[in-house]
């Protein structure tokens, strides 16, 4: 497998508002035609209009349209207006934090509307502030007030009403992570040349590193596991592992999995040993796995900085692991896998299933922003980072010169790098 860039360089080009608008109209017409020809629903504001197709064609239209819409919006608003909006995002998120903390999403009924007075009584808040919080959210299409004083769900808000995992994602981001983010400047000023889980905004805000925090707060640890499952649902990543899994994987597959992605039955020929250091993560992260899948899954508590005890395996999967750790720690994780790779057949793949950062300007700006936001999240919570493919290759060489990258699928929010140990 050869990793190739999917997009041409998208750095700033001379803008032409009229040409951008024409491109938007053209792509919108083609998108509606594509949806109609393939018997797919045209998006609306209806409550059941929450999902979008994940086909290559739709995602291509989506990427171009969002990029052009953002460009046109910036040109129309101008930099002062754009910066004012960005500077006030914290206040918008403050209202959303209250909504999650007081559980607005469950108290607003799934159908129909609820009065301000009744909702205020249910959430335990005065009517004035309730209205102010929910009305600013409504400007983001989170809830709607179609009749004055009565609120109902929108496609965005109903997501958190219907899906516990997604609600946990919102709670986790706007509780411990949002609070930690406010310590970012203090953190880098205190340790300008050191970044790890101890020297992180999270550790400053909560007085302990992230994993120790979850050991001390098991309720939040369970929420964190559900939040990771919800995070997976928000990204178009499900097909990638299935489509780009090496075909020579046949028998036993060991992996460190946080989300539920490996539990859904795509690989009926495989048995799994799923490892995690915190057992409460496992309990919360496999809730919807079928019995037939679970019969092929064994759980093992393991610290992946220690030598991997399993031998002679078909593949090793590190799924959404490396972004939690510093470069030196990732080298240690790779080194701990060498005995297992040495004991397995030649060509046994080590699969690094994680975000691979793009080079600047190689993908549309809004897509790059999403990935770099996750990189910032890793800094906030663990003093860690996301990496480019070249950075992964360098860390693999530091762990063992015999590690060689044999290709990968480097695209989207979750990539796959295939590595062999040349023996």
Residues 31 and 98 in one domain: no
Residues 295 and 313 in one domain: yes
pLDDT along the chain (423 residues), means of 10: 45 82 98 96 94 93 97 97 97 98 98 98 98 98 98 98 97 97 98 97 98 94 92 64 53 44 56 74 54 73 87 88 95 96 92 92 93 96 96 98 89 86 90
Residue where a domain terminates, one of 124, 146, 161: 161
Residues 258 and 353 in one domain: yes
Residues 34 and 92 in one domain: no
Residue 398's nearest CA partner among 317, 328, 306, 324 is 328
- Is 211 a domain residue? no
Residues 48 and 132 in one domain: no
Specify the number of domains making up the chain: 3
- Is 417 a domain residue? yes
Residue where a domain terminates, one of 53, 83, 113: 83
- Is 64 a domain residue? yes
Residue 91's nearest CA partner among 49, 136, 29, 61 is 136
Per the CB < 8 A criterion, the answer to whether 340 and 316 are in contact is: yes
- Is 204 a domain residue? no
Residues 72 and 121 in one domain: no
What is residue 286's predicted lDDT score, i.e. its pLDDT? 53
Whole-prediction pTM: 0.85
What is residue 123's predicted lDDT score, i.e. its pLDDT? 98
What is residue 288's predicted lDDT score, i.e. its pLDDT? 54
What is residue 1's predicted lDDT score, i.e. its pLDDT? 38
Residues 95 and 57 in one domain: no
Name the residues annotated as catalytic: 323
Considering the chain, what percentage of its residues have pLDDT values greater than 70? 84
- Is 208 a domain residue? no
Residues 255 and 376 in one domain: yes
- Is 79 a domain residue? yes
Residues 101 and 150 in one domain: yes
Domain of 337? 247-421
Residues 270 and 409 in one domain: yes
Residues 359 and 385 in one domain: yes
């Amino acid at each position: 497998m050869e990793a190739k860039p999917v997009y041409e360089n998208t750095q700033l080009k001379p803008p032409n508002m009229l040409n951008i608008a024409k491109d938007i109209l053209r792509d919108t017409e083609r998108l509606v035609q594509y949806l109609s020809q393939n018997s797919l629903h045209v998006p609306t504001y209806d409550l059941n209009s929450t999902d979008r197709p994940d086909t290559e064609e739709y995602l291509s239209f989506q990427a171009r349209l969002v990029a052009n819409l953002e460009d046109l919006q910036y040109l129309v608003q101008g930099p002062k207006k754009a910066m004012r909006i960005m500077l006030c995002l914290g206040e918008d998120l403050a209202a959303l934090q209250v909504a999650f903390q007081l559980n607005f999403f469950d108290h607003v009924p799934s159908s129909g509307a609820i009065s301000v007075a009744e909702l205020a009584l249910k959430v335990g808040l005065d009517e004035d502030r309730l209205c102010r919080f929910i009305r600013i959210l409504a400007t983001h299409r989170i809830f709607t007030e179609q009749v004055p004083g009565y609120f109902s769900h929108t496609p965005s808000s109903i997501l958190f009403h219907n899906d516990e995992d997604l609600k946990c994602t919102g709670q986790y981001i706007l509780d411990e992570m949002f609070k930690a983010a406010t310590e970012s400047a203090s953190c880098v000023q205190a340790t300008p040349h050191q970044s790890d889980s101890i020297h992180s905004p999270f550790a400053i805000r909560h007085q302990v590193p992230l994993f120790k925090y979850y050991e001390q707060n098991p309720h939040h640890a369970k929420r964190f596991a559900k939040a990771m499952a919800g995070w997976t649902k928000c990204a178009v990543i499900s097909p990638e592992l299935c489509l780009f899994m090496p075909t020579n994987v046949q028998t036993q597959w060991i992996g460190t999995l946080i989300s539920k992605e490996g539990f859904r039955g795509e690989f009926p020929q495989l048995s799994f040993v799923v490892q995690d250091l915190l057992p409460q993560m496992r309990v919360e992260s496999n809730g919807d796995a079928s019995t037939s899948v679970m019969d092929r899954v064994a759980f093992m508590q393991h610290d992946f900085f220690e030598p991997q005890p399993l031998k002679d395996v078909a593949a090793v999967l590190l799924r959404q692991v490396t972004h939690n750790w510093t470069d030196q720690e990732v080298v240690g994780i790779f080194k701990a896998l060498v005995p297992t790779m040495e004991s397995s057949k030649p060509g046994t793949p080590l699969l690094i299933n994680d975000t691979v950062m793009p080079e600047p300007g190689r993908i549309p700006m809004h897509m790059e922003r999403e990935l770099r936001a996750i990189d910032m999240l890793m800094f906030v919570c663990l003093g860690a980072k996301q990496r480019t493919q070249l950075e992964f290759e360098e860390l693999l060489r530091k762990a063992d010169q015999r590690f060689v990258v044999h290709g990968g699928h480097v695209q989207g929010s979750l990539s796959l790098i295939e590595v062999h140990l040349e023996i």
